[in-house]
Amino acid sequence: MGKDRTGRAASGKGFSTRAIHAGEDRSRYADSITTPIVQTSTYVFKDSREVEAYTKRHKERFEYGRYGNPTELVAQRRLAALEGAEDGVLFASGMSAIVTTILALVKSGDHLVITDDAYKKTLEFCSQYLQRFGVRCSVVPFGDYRALDRAVGPRTRFIFSESPTNPYLNISDLRRLKDIARRHGVLTVIDSTFATPLNQRPLEWGVDLVVHSCTKYLGGHNDLLAGAVLGRKALIGEIRALHKAFGGVIDPHGCYLLLRGLKTFALRVERQNATALRVARFLEGHPRVRKVYYPGLESHPHHAIAREQMKGFGGVVSFDIRGDIRAAKRFMDSLRLCYLAPSLGGVETLITHPATVTYYNETRKERYALGITDSLFRLAVGVEDVEDIVGDLDQALRR
């Protein structure tokens, strides 16, 4: 879906309008204003002629729940409209979307390149499990585009990266990434979960496929697990075919929750963008904070890139406090508003301590080699009043 110079979609509708209405038929069952939940595992045919029309002439309709659902179809269309994609497919989780996409694009003997700042489980799958299928993986330092260029070989199928990354919120230069991929004739896949389609649309920068954990900002209420991949119709067709065999389908009620969340998506993310920037500036000036990582701050190493290719800087702020692991635990235990929880993107403010939550099974030396210090925190702001979030952080830091 193209865009004109005003930033509006080819449909002529603005972003928030698409987030509410895209993908829906005007008339719905029982005149419902919301998209109905079609809670069924299978679909019936009226007679043999309808069966023949479906199997021989490929008439579009639903047959079995693993192959599609009306509620799911609306959600897929809406996400594609927001991302500016030709097509998209939904999954039961973000990792299901990533794993299925990777396996759909490679065969034995192929090679892929991934940046080292990718999500931990994505790196784990690529570096540990793909070799079982005869697929090699090269992990290169994030932001080292010369190393990325050198890593691409004759059997490389695609480059996988994230932007922003977790937890340091590094920003990939999408133009340079695409130039490298185009020079070598390989595909590009970006996990854009932290950015969301409101803040960044990689397809407009030439990226081939965009992956989202819809569990985060797209659902937005901490009550849903879902994933999506979006891009050109031909590529999505390959992924959808494998998806039908793997069976990692999202249920109709999950699609309903996603559609519900998308209706307030722009309002929530705009609020979280503004709140996160204010919180980041507060933390940067706090005497008990050593370092703040937020692409909206001029101190962030990728601030210039973020300003060029992002509308907003997102709702996640990472920061390193002064002190040791005991100080970090005192800070965590003193919070009264922010919940200690590992996810992000919902209406509640969540904070996580990567050293004890995500990397608990690794030694301190191994963690520090990855940049995960004892005093590092990742804050995902919700939609509470910013003064209350700042106040809670301040009192906990002072304790």
Mean pLDDT per 10-residue run, the chain (399 residues)?
Answer: 51 90 86 93 94 82 93 97 98 98 98 95 95 96 97 98 96 98 98 98 98 98 98 97 96 98 98 98 98 98 98 98 96 98 97 90 84 94 98 97
* CATH class, 15-37+68-263 region: alpha beta
Strands 227-231 and 111-115 come out as: unpaired
pLDDT, position 8:
63
pLDDT, position 358:
82
Q: For residue 107, indicate whether it is catalytic.
A: no
pLDDT, position 362:
85
H helix runs in the chain, sequence order = 15-21, 48-56, 70-83, 94-105, 120-124, 145-151, 174-184, 196-199, 233-246, 252-263, 265-284, 303-309, 325-334, 354-357, 364-369, 386-398
H or E segment at 286? Answer: none
Structure token digits, residue 101: 């996409």
**Active-site position among 87, 117, 119, 208:** 119
Phi, psi of 197 (to 5 degrees): -65, -20
Amino acid present at 128:
Q
Q: For residue 191, indicate whether it is catalytic.
A: yes
**Active-site position among 28, 66, 77, 263:** 66
**Active-site position among 178, 216, 240, 367:** 216
Sign of the torsion formed by the C-alpha atoms of 53, 57, 63 and 69: negative
Structure token digits, residue 246: 């793997």
DSSP state at residue 214: T
Strands 376-380 and 350-352 come out as: antiparallel
Yes or no: say if 287 and 397 are a contact pair by the CB < 8 Å rule: no
pLDDT, position 171:
98
Q: Distance between CA atoms of 210 and 241, rounded to whole angstroms?
A: 18
**Active-site position among 117, 173, 191, 251:** 191
The answer to whether the predicted template modeling score (pTM) of the entire model surpasses 0.85 is: yes
pLDDT, position 99:
98
* CATH class, 266-398 region: alpha beta
H or E segment at 85? Answer: none
Q: Hey, where are the domains in the chain?
A: 15-37+68-263, 266-398
Strands 227-231 and 87-91 come out as: antiparallel
